[in-house]
């Protein structure tokens, strides 16, 4: 029975799992679970992941959730996955675990909350929260500096100075990619000072092409949708500023 990957490409950990599968030629079935339609809350999906979060996989009778656990499982269970994704050598493998563990309360915590509270919340029927955005921005910028100055030290183009990407590169780069949803000036302000981070994103994209852009396509489309909404709102606001003095004379 084929591996089933339950994913929403708008979810960055879902994208990391899909790209790992595609880049390694794994025969799998992608099952779309749309967060914007709250499909992850359905009883069918709850039976797969009681925490109602994406991604999740089913391999035969085995169910698993939490993206890092899934990435490790796929790299271990499918012999076709090249060693660099999840090195067999214990010390190299342990360093990959160290990056993955660090990620949760740093880059992921900052990036996900910043994008949610700056642009994405309305699309999910939630309010934008400026205070939460400000807190998240601090964590995000500090995390990017640490990636630039600590994790990307060394001779290679990838995390831990490696010459080939690991599942940690995939997880962290997919997280940063959601900054595509931000207003371009805001994205440049945040990512601009981190030149090594930008090169590393490009290296990861190149190492996994054409799958990287194919899986991220949904994000680029959402960006256009958000830009159009923003521009319409701005036009609306402009129009209402013009109209207000008129209506006040009525």
Catalog residues that contact a copy of itself under the rule CB under 8 A. Answer: 50-51, 62, 64-69, 72-73, 76-77, 90-91, 94-95, 97-98, 100-102, 104-105, 108-109, 146, 150
CA distance 161 to 176: 19
Return the number of the residue (84 or 95) whose C-beta is nearest a copy of itself. Answer: 95
Q: 71-74: long-range contacts (C-beta < 8 A, 24 or more apart)?
A: 71/16, 71/17, 71/20, 71/167, 71/170, 71/171, 72/167, 74/3, 74/17, 74/20, 74/21, 74/24, 74/26
Return the number of the residue (28 or 212) whose C-beta is nearest a copy of itself. Answer: 28
Return the number of the residue (35 or 226) whose C-beta is nearest a copy of itself. Answer: 35
In angstroms, give the least distance from the CB of 52 to a copy of itself: 11
Return the number of the residue (73 or 158) whose C-beta is nearest a copy of itself. Answer: 73
In angstroms, give the least distance from the CB of 93 to a copy of itself: 8
In angstroms, give the least distance from the CB of 149 to a copy of itself: 8
54: left (phi over 0), alpha (psi -120 to 50) or beta: beta
In angstroms, give the least distance from the CB of 111 to a copy of itself: 13
Q: How many residues does this entry show for the chain?
A: 250
């Amino acid at each position: 029975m084929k591996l089933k990957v339950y994913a929403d490409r708008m979810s960055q950990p879902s994208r990391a799992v899909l790209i790992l599968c595609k880049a390694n030629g794994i025969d799998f079935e992608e099952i779309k679970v749309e967060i914007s339609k709250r499909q992850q809350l359905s009883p069918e999906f709850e039976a797969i992941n009681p925490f109602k979060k994406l991604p999740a996989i089913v391999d035969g009778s085995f169910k698993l959730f939490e993206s890092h656990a899934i990435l490790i499982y796929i790299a271990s269970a499918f012999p076709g996955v090249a060693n660099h994704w999840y090195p067999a050598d214990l010390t190299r493998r342990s360093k990959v675990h160290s990056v993955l563990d660090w990620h949760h309360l740093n880059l992921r915590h900052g990036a996900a909350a910043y994008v949610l509270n700056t642009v994405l919340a309305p699309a999910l029927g939630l309010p934008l929260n400026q205070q939460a955005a400000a807190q998240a921005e601090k964590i995000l910028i500090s995390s990017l500096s640490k990636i630039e100055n600590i994790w990307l030290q060394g001779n290679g183009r990838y995390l831990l100075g490696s010459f080939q990407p690991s599942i940690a590169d995939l997880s962290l780069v997919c997280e940063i990619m959601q900054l595509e949803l931000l207003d371009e000036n805001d994205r440049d302000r945040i990512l601009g000072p981190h030149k090594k981070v930008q090169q590393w994103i490009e290296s990861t994209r190149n190492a996994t092409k054409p799958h990287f852009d194919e899986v991220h396509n949904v994000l680029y489309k959402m960006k256009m949708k958000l830009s159009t909404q923003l521009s319409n709102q701005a036009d609306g606001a402009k129009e209402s500023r013009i109209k207000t003095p008129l209506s006040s004379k009525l």
